[in-house]
Amino acid sequence: MRVAHVCMDRGVGPSRRKGAAVHLQAIRDSMRKLGAEVFDVDSPDADVVAARLHELHRIDPLDLVYERYSLGATTVSEFAEGMGIAHVLEVNAPLQAEASRYRGSEEGDVASSPERAVLGKAKLVVAVSSKVAEFAIDSGAPSENVVIEPNGVDPEMFNPGRAQELGAEAPVPAGRFTLGVHGRLRPWHNLEMLGRVAARLLDEDCDVHVLTIGKGDYAETLGALLPEERFTHLSWVPHPDVGRYVACFDALPLTYAPADDYFSPLKLREAMASGAVPVVPDVGDLAQDVGEAGIIYEPGSESELQEALRGLIQDPGHCSHLSVLAQRQAEGSDWLSIARRTLERALAVTL
């Protein structure tokens, strides 16, 4: 199968140091492992993308065009429709609403006419969560064309054994219960809540340590809330090495605000695969993604989050049990399985 894999988002190129770029490359690599001939087309320039797609199709007809959707991008949809090729659209967020809320866009939260046209014409829409699927359908995608595939994980890169690779370079003193967060810090992460909860756990003489990894104002946000000796921040680690540090997490406490309910956090799968117990608010699909492998708390409730973490600290046996369940659950969400299901569905719509 000849697949053109397109990304027109200038912020999500495969060389970028962010989770979206990891997702992009992981799907491409997995499709290749499954035998597909995948051609990467990465440019925000509509003319460049159109020219490359026409060139690829002229050399040998394409079977499929797979696009990571970018706000306002119509080039791929127009090409696929004109050439009679199936267009698969991967949608990771309600982009117009996100732009309006976090980037000051004046377009409003409603999908634009071009966005509705692209969603309506795609033969298959792969949504990262149920909320994103609802957005796609509300924005013109036929419901029968929409499937949900949460973010995946590379189990070779993220597993509990990788912590041993650090040896004497372990970032947290041995024996401390590590609350970990990794990835680029975003406004909706609500990290101050974790800082306040961790501080109260320290006041209760719980032996906790917060470890954060990634770009953003982690030190500024948590440094004012926690003693210096109880907080470690690694500003950036090459992605192949991140798993070594994530494997040091005992728990992954997510603190998303109640309104932020469309995410499928890439970092959730990675931490679970590494053995961290997920402690997540009941927003979006998080409770479903975690299942019985973690603890669910009321969104915004610092007391419930504190109670959940205290329970894990005080009951190591229960914490270990949940850790094993988290690993097992993450094993069924690897990128290769996601790519296989996507290609099988795409093949069905091309026949």
Closest Cα to residue 179, out of 168, 171, 188? Answer: 171
Q: Are residues 91 and 237 in the same domain?
A: no
pTM of the model: 0.88
pLDDT of residue 188: 80
In a shared domain, residues 29 and 99: yes
Return the SS3 of 60.
coil
- Whether residues 198 and 325 share a domain: the answer is yes
Residues 24 and 167 in one domain: no
Do 197 and 305 lie in one domain? The reply is: yes
Domain count for the chain, please give it.
2
pLDDT at 262: 61
Q: Is 190 left (phi over 0), alpha (psi -120 to 50) or beta?
A: left
Are 110 and 251 in a shared domain?
no
Tell me, what CATH number does 253's domain have?
A: 3.40.50.2000
166 and 139 both lie in a single domain: no
List the structure tokens of 299: 């969104």
205: left (phi over 0), alpha (psi -120 to 50) or beta: left
Low-confidence ranges of the chain (pLDDT < 50): 102-103, 105, 108-110
Same domain, 17 and 87: yes
> Domain limits at 23?
2-152+334-350
Which tens digit of pLDDT belongs to each residue from 230-260?
999 998 888 889 999 999 999 999 999 876 5
pLDDT of residue 185: 86
Say yes or no: 37 and 108 in one domain: yes
Instruction: State whether 210 and 268 are in the same domain.
Output: yes
Residues 84 and 102 grouped into a single domain: yes
Q: Give me the pLDDT at residue 72, please.
A: 82
The tokens for 182 are 């990794």
Q: Quick one: pLDDT at residue 102?
A: 46
User: pLDDT value at position 109?
Assistant: 47
- State residue 10's pLDDT score: 82
Q: What is the pLDDT of residues 17-67, one digit of tens each?
A: 666 888 899 999 999 999 999 999 999 999 999 999 999 999 999 999 999
Residues 6+ apart with CB under 8 A from 115: 71, 72, 95, 96, 139, 140
- Quick one: 203 and 88 in the same domain? no
Q: How far apart are CA 351 and CA 349, in angstroms?
A: 6
